[in-house]
Structure 1
Amino acid sequence: MASYFDEIQKYFQHHNRTKELNGNHTAKVHSVGWSCDGRLLASGSFDKTVSVFLLERDRMSREATYRGHTDSVDQLCWHPFHPELFVTASGDKTIRIWDARANKTVATVNTKGENINICWSPDGQTIAVGNKEDLVTFVDARSHRVKTEEQFKFEVNEISWNNENDLFFLTNGHGCINVLSYPDLKSLHVLNAHPANCICIEFDPTGKYFATGSADALASLWDVNELICIRTFSRLDWPVRTLSFSYDGKMLASASEDLAIDIASVETGEKITEVQCESPTFTVAWHPKRHLLAFACDDKDKYNRDRDAGTIKLFGLANDSS
């Protein structure tokens, strides 16, 4: 019987096409994310806008462009089980909740600083947003009111709940992972994860693992229950800026300023394939139901002046699709 590793390598032999999407962004795309049902893909850009695309089989069409932020859209995320709602974090000191059906803002929440990271709790009730001053604000997703704020005395890079919604994780500038209880936000553990800045964190959809990326160019895989490092992935040469698990939890994509995205087997650490890029990659997102990876690279005009900036790409399409 063929192993998963063999099967997925064979799959990518026939699904290794990369397609560019024109989101009409005029500057770097900071964040891409799929709706929970996988029908919609959103991209947030330095140009202050969000684009949303509709996926039908292997075809993507742009649905709408969302305007309202007055500064860069630095990160976005979708509601965990409502396929039409997503939220954006911006340098304009607001977060905005959007409804893809109405192509408009549902709510705007004012915050105390320039926002750089955001996540939605697995139960859908709370949105957490972090700013450049290391203040994390927790917003009630229904009333759109601030529930609480937590000021940290260290550099907070990325934030996330665990899948069970009872722990809150932060990656910090000292190479550590801070684990807090939720909702009371008491410090439980400080994990010395990396010798350099710990940049990003991502939870495996099966709830077994989480992964972190660091300025030491390593991605590390952690057991959620034991809070111990299982293995590291070391094929990249530059700081790991973004991570994403495949929907089945068996693959981990990691990206950096390397001109390739590494796709590895979670269980063995072996390289499954890599996606060639023309410039540094700062956001990746696996589709929630199929082996399709969305990603966006740095402004191409820095590297190839006859190309547009702000392009989103898809990897994993069938080679014979048009």
Structure 2
Amino acid sequence: MTVPFIEQSKEHFSKNNRIRDYQSHTCKVHSVDWSCDGHRLASGSVDKSISIFNLDKDRLNKESTLKGHSDSVDQLSWHPSHPDLLATASLDKTVRLWDSRVAKNYATINTKGENINICWSPDGSSIAVGNKEDLITFIDAKQQKIKVEQPFKFEVNEISWNNDNDLFFLTSGQGAIHVLSYPDLQPQVVLNAHPANCICIEFDSTGKYFAVGSADTMVSIWDANHLVCLRTISRLEWPARAISFSHDGKLLASGSEDLLIDISYVETGEKISGVPVDSPTFTVAFHPSRYILAFACDDKDTFGRDAGTVKIFGLPNGN
């Protein structure tokens, strides 16, 4: 089964190798994410706005622009099962909840610091947001109120629940992964994952794996149930800053300051494809049901200004 899949995947990306640019913002794009049904793509930017695109067959169409934040939108996340609800984290010290059907902000939660990352719990009941002061705030998504504020004495980079919703993971500046029980947030284990800063973390949709990107340029792939490192991918030459699993958990995209986004076969670490880019990549997101990759780079226009574009790789080239 392995060889046919690898060959089919390589053939897919070889045939559908065009990168399409979509004008999204007036400044750098910090975050991209697909809705759970794959019909919409959202992007957040330094220009304080969120852009919503609709995937119509094999092309993106701009649907709306969401405004309300007073500072950079550093990360955003769609609800895990409701395809219209979106949460955004901003340096303006707020978390905002949006309904994309009406392009409206229906809740604003004030937090204590400049927010840089955000995620939903798998059951959609909670939102976790991290700020620059290493404080994680847990929000009741239904009541739109803060439940718990948990400070940490180490550098917290990215956060995530496991798929079973009973563990909470944090990547640290000391090269470790801290695992807490949830909802009581008691320390369970510290995984010494890398010799340098652990930057990003992602769980695959099947619940079998999670991956960690590090400043040591490597991406490690872990058994999500036994918390054991299975393999590392070491083709990047710069810190791995953004990772994303494909919908079936078989492929992993890794972005960095390298001028190539690496797409690997998870079971072996073998390279499936590479996406050429002209500037550093800081956000990547695989589509939830197709081998389509959305990403954004630190690219400039012909006048040297931030291009503010969202890029798509893997759509059929004929359309």
TM-score class normalised by the smaller sequence: over 0.9
Per the alignment, residue 143 of structure 2 pairs with: 143
Per the alignment, residue 9 of structure 1 pairs with: 10
The answer as to 2:318 corresponding to 1:320 is yes
Q: Measure how far apart 1:306 and its partner are.
A: 5.7
Q: Measure how far apart 1:299 and its partner are.
A: 3.7
State the one-letter code of the partner of 1:106.
Y
Per the alignment, residue 239 of structure 1 pairs with: 239
Contact 2:298 2:306 in 1 (8 A): no
Name the CA distance, whole Å, in 1 between partners of 2:150 and 2:64: 35
State the one-letter code of the partner of 1:66.
L
Q: Measure how far apart 1:122 and its partner are.
A: 0.3
Contact 2:236 2:256 in 1 (8 A): yes
Gap change, CA 1:234 and 1:305, over 3 Å in 2: farther
Name the CA distance, whole Å, in 2 between partners of 1:133 and 1:10: 45
Gaps of 5+ in 2: none
Alignment partner of 2:36: what SS? coil
State the one-letter code of the partner of 1:314.
I
Q: Measure how far apart 1:305 and its partner are.
A: 3.5
Per the alignment, residue 268 of structure 1 pairs with: 268
Contact 1:27 1:299 in 2 (8 A): no
4+ residue segments displaced more than 4 Å: none
Q: Measure how far apart 1:93 and its partner are.
A: 0.3
Name the CA distance, whole Å, in 1 between partners of 2:14 and 2:236: 22
Per the alignment, residue 74 of structure 1 pairs with: 74
Name the CA distance, whole Å, in 2 between partners of 1:148 and 1:193: 27
Q: Measure how far apart 1:26 and its partner are.
A: 0.9
| Deviations, residues 214-248 of structure 1 (Å, cap 9, x unaligned) | 00000000001111110001111001000000001
Gaps of 5+ in 1: none
Per the alignment, residue 250 of structure 1 pairs with: 250
Per the alignment, residue 59 of structure 2 pairs with: 59
Name the CA distance, whole Å, in 1 between partners of 2:106 and 2:78: 14
Normalising by structure 1, we get a TM-score of: 0.97
Written as runs of structure 1 = structure 2, the 5 A alignment for 1:112-131 is 112-131=112-131
Name the CA distance, whole Å, in 1 between partners of 2:187 and 2:91: 28
Written as runs of structure 1 = structure 2, the 5 A alignment for 1:176-187 is 176-187=176-187
Alignment partner of 1:10: what SS? helix
Contact 1:278 1:300 in 2 (8 A): no
Per the alignment, residue 220 of structure 2 pairs with: 220
Per the alignment, residue 22 of structure 1 pairs with: 23
Alignment partner of 1:317: what SS? coil
Q: Measure how far apart 1:307 and its partner are.
A: 6.9
Name the CA distance, whole Å, in 2 between partners of 1:13 and 1:128: 38
Name the CA distance, whole Å, in 1 between partners of 2:304 and 2:113: 36
Per the alignment, residue 32 of structure 2 pairs with: 32
Q: Which of the residues 304, 308, 311 maps onto 1:310?
A: 308
Name the CA distance, whole Å, in 1 between partners of 2:150 and 2:85: 25
Name the CA distance, whole Å, in 1 between partners of 2:4 and 2:53: 34
Contact 2:28 2:306 in 1 (8 A): no
| Deviations, residues 143-185 of structure 1 (Å, cap 9, x unaligned) | 0011111000000000000000000000000000000000000
Name the CA distance, whole Å, in 2 between partners of 1:166 and 1:315: 34
Contact 2:278 2:299 in 1 (8 A): no
Alignment partner of 2:61: what SS? strand
Name the CA distance, whole Å, in 2 between partners of 1:308 and 1:89: 21
Name the CA distance, whole Å, in 2 between partners of 1:122 and 1:36: 11
Alignment partner of 1:165: what SS? coil
CA RMSD of aligned residues (A): 1.1
Gap change, CA 1:308 and 1:190, over 3 Å in 2: closer
